[in-house]
Amino acid sequence: MIGRVKKLFNTVFLIEIGKGLALTLRTMLKPAVTRQYPREKRKPFAGSRGLHAMRRDDSGQKERCIGCGLCEAVCPADAITVITAEGPDHEKIVSSYELNLLRCVFCGFCIDACPVSAIQMTPEFELACTSRKDAFYTKERLVKIGDKYMGGKG
């Protein structure tokens, strides 16, 4: 009985609508939180997982990757292909390193697996591209990204 009276009272005096309008008014007076991307960019958090990069080795001459294939083995998305060969001095060389960003799920396992910390993640998150080919990151491209984010040092 009491419930029905209360409901009638609320309906007649438009109480719910009033509450809603009050909230809207309060929010209008608060500063806006929407960022105007792409004009305005968010600062990445520490440890955020963006585009991969390859560091250079201590000599700075070539990539740091030693071609162990552990990143390839651990990658749950099968995004990495490492192909190695024997160099002129019987050393192991990485003849091709390819990361297919179309497959990558940015889990960061590859970074954890790398025994020499060659492959790293940068805060770079703007990865849109207009062709599939652009989504394949070769060793050379990855080293360039490394140079950009890690200053080209070992």
Partner 1 sequence: MTEQSKLITAVIDGKQVTVAAGTMILKAAESIGITIPVFCYHPRLTISGSCRMCLVEIEGGSKPVTACSTELAAGVVVYTNTPTVLEARREIMENLLINHPLDCPVCDKGGECLLQDHAYDWGPGASRFTERKRLFRKPIPLSDRILLDRERCILCTRCVRFCDEISDHRELAILEMGGNSEIAVAPDRAFDSQFSGNTVELCPVGALTSTSFRFKARPWEMARLPGICPFCGCGCSIDIHTRSGNIMRFMARENPAVDDGWLCDRGRYGFDLSGGSERLTKPLVRKQGRLVAVSWKEAIATAVEKLRRAVSQYGPGAVGGIGSAWSSSEENDLLQRLIRESLESHNVDCSLTDDGRPAALALAEGLGTFTFNDIDRADSILMIGADPSRYQPILDLRLKKAVITRRTPIFTLASTDGEMARYARESLRYRAGSEESLLRLLTAAVKKEKRYDSFESDLRAGGLSREAIDRGLERAGLGPRTVVLVNASLLTDDVRVYLVKELVAAMGAGASTGLLFDSANGFGARTAGAVPGYLPGLRPIDRGMSGPEMVVAAERSTLKALYILNREHHDSAAVARARRGAELLICHALFLDEASGSGDIVFPAASVFEKQGTFTNTAGLAQSTAPVLNPPGEARPESTVIEEIMERLKQ
In the complex, which residues of this chain contact ligand SF4 (CB under 6 A)? 65-71, 74-77, 79-80, 82, 99, 104-110, 113-114, 116, 118-119
Of these partners, ligand SF4, partner 1, none, which one is at the site of residue 77 (CB under 5 to 8 Å by kind)? ligand SF4
Interface with partner 1 (CB under 8 A), residue from 84, 108, 124, 144:
84
In sequence order, which ranges of 2-153 are alpha helices (DSSP H)? 2-12, 15-29, 70-74, 109-113, 139-150
Task: Report DSSP letters for 19-50, one per residue.
Answer: HHHHHHHHHHHSPP----TTTS-PPPPTT---
What is the end-to-end Cα distance of the chain in Å, rounded?
A: 79
Asked if residues 94 and 67 have their Cβ atoms less than 8 Å apart, the reply is yes
Cα distance between residue 15 and residue 12, in whole Å: 8
Of these partners, ligand SF4, partner 1, none, which one is at the site of residue 8 (CB under 5 to 8 Å by kind)? none
If the CB atoms of residues 68 and 150 are measured against ligand SF4, the closer one turns out to be 68
If the CB atoms of residues 119 and 145 are measured against ligand SF4, the closer one turns out to be 119
Cα distance between residue 80 and residue 110, in whole Å: 9
Q: Give the footprint of partner 1 on residues 93-132 (CB under 8 A).
A: 93, 115-116
Q: Give the footprint of partner 1 on residues 35-74 (CB under 8 A).
A: 66-70, 72-73
Q: Which residues bind partner 1 (CB under 8 A)?
A: 66-70, 72-73, 84-86, 90, 92-93, 115-116
